[in-house]
Structure 1
Amino acid sequence: MSLITFCIRLALAAYVVALVALYFMQDRMLLPASPDVAGSLVGHHAAYDVERWQADGEYAGYLVTPAAAPRGTFLVFHGNAETAENKLPVAGIFVRDGYRVVVVEYPGQGNREGKRTMLAALAASREALVAARAQWPGPLYLVGESLGAGMAAQAIAGNEKSVAGVALITPWDSLASVASTKYPIFPVRWMLHDPFDSVAALARYDGPLVVIGAQQDTLIPIVHAQRLAGTHPGAHLMLLPDANHEDWFGAMNNAHWQQVLRWMQAD
């Protein structure tokens, strides 16, 4: 065997090993272990109360309730490497406008038991929407960040008439699109357990859609948010010129949030 043949076979073997690893490790890559949860959010805060929320009899996140009778309900879906505990500041935006907020937790994340997989997170997201719709009357809005934007979009599919408005923050157009850019030498579109195609998931949804993109985002580049907004008639695109994937919240001021609520028809 020549040296060239040996090197080719070695390279092919390494490629196959990498393919197998990517296929079987994708849940760990997309849903890394969340940070340890310190303490509990449950209790009375300055302008709202926080309690554990249950869906189908098990802990599924937090319920944040304003002092006055709520005008409706927001569901908030967090990103990966986060927990429901991280999203209280986001919940506070909508509570201050008079809404109750459910911060959804995924199985195996934070304080929720279960297997930490993308498909389990997807099932939990859909169950949260159905449970919230059954539990409370009035308008129901969805807000998702990063991976949570993908979960929110997928939860809408088949439940379009249940959702009054949606905001997707630093989203992908599809997970397959982002992954194929990150790993161009691999056939990732064929390897993903689910393409998590947000464009397709929102195809039958005709309610208000707000897409918020961070122009300095290197994890999910801004082009994916632009594509998502561009494929949906009537979508509103808000661009944060100096924000990246991690600090978008700090780039949002009160005027930004009021514009988002107007576009969602929740002002």
Structure 2
Amino acid sequence: MIRIKRVLMVFFSVVALGYLGLMGGMFAIQRSILFPAPRGPQQAPPEGPGFRRLTPPGGPVVDVFHLPARPGQPTVVHFHGNGEQLQWLVDLGEAMHERGLGFLAVEYPGYGTNPGTPTEQGIYQAAEVALAELRAQGVKPESTVLSSHSMGGGPAVEMARRGHGARLVLTAPFTSVVDMANLAFPFLPTRLLVRDPFDNASKAPGIDIPVLIFHGDRDVVIPVEMGQRMGRLFPRATMEVVPGGGHNDLLTRTYPVLVDRIAAFARGEPAVPVSRGGP
């Protein structure tokens, strides 16, 4: 009996140590999972029409892609997903610009050629720098539409909470990183481990501006149910499910219609939904 107890004690000790080791490992590597910045050779900041590097005194270096709006038109400030980078947003920006809208895309720390390491607070700081530059050019919050894809919903929602925009567009949003981590690692105490929670769900009820949400019903990265839940949490949200839409291909599947829908929403115009709404 004593031997059995010793064996069980050793077994449970090994299991506990292994579990603690797993927790420690996930805590250490989580940012490489959350922020898988596209890798490539280091190069100079992007060149070409619209690309600029902002270097505010005492603030972070921030690369942006900015195409000014036509007179009287709003500007869309876009925050990309965690697997994208600034250079990939030229087509989207030009499509918005062709419709008369301004477009400002913000790069994150550690992405592209931006120095630094991506963190939730670091991304918020980069967003504030870009928005301050937009204000300096005369674009007011009431003429600003915050836009995002996937993880970009984190800074978009936070900037909306801080009063930086009059409208908000979320494409394939999640409720929080904790909820996403629970889906991937249900056996871990994710609420204790997550360092960058991006808790969109807790912020949504306090954001009383028009919100437009798109989510593909075949999204295998962020479940469409999360987008639907976000649609219920915002006081003034319209949630549209895109039939056949995935995660990374959502814009390409519905591109012209989706951009037209966003442009109409940005101007405050009525538009025919591109899909069926969520419950």
Which one-letter code corresponds to 2:21 in the other structure? V
Q: What residue number does 2:25 align with?
A: 21
Deviates more, 1:59-68 or 1:239-248: 59-68
Q: What residue number does 1:46 align with?
A: none
Q: What residue number does 2:176 align with?
A: 174
Provide the C-alpha distance between the structure 2 equivalents of 1:50 and 1:128, rounded to a whole number of angstroms: 13
SS in 1 for 2:206: coil
SS in 1 for 2:50: strand
SS in 2 for 1:252: helix
Cα 1:155/1:55, change in 2 over 3 Å: farther
Cα 1:68/1:227, change in 2 over 3 Å: closer
* Identical amino acids, percent of aligned pairs: 23
**Residue 234 of structure 1 pairs with residue 256 of structure 2:** no
Provide the C-alpha distance between the structure 1 equivalents of 2:228 and 2:47, rounded to a whole number of angstroms: 37
Q: Which runs of 5+ in 2 are unaligned?
A: 270-279
Provide the C-alpha distance between the structure 2 equivalents of 1:70 and 1:213, rounded to a whole number of angstroms: 30
RMSD of aligned C-alpha atoms?
2.4
**Residue 90 of structure 1 pairs with residue 92 of structure 2:** yes
**Residue 12 of structure 1 pairs with residue 20 of structure 2:** no
For normalisation by structure 1, the TM-score amounts to 0.87
CA drift of 1:188 comes to: 0.5
Give the alignment of 1:28-177 within 5 angstroms.
28-36=32-40, 41-43=46-48, 49-54=49-54, 56=56, 59-65=61-67, 69=71, 71-138=73-140, 139-159=143-163, 162-177=164-179
SS in 1 for 2:228: helix
Q: Which runs of 5+ in 1 are unaligned?
A: 44-48
Q: List 4+ stretches of structure 1 deviating above 6 A.
A: 37-40
Which one-letter code corresponds to 2:47 in the other structure? V
Provide the C-alpha distance between the structure 2 equivalents of 1:64 and 1:228, rounded to a whole number of angstroms: 29
Length, aligned pairs only = 260
Cα 1:253/1:116, change in 2 over 3 Å: closer
Query: Quick check: which has more Rg, 1 or 2?
Result: 2
Which one-letter code corresponds to 1:111 in the other structure? T
For normalisation by structure 2, the TM-score amounts to 0.83
Provide the C-alpha distance between the structure 2 equivalents of 1:140 and 1:221, rounded to a whole number of angstroms: 28
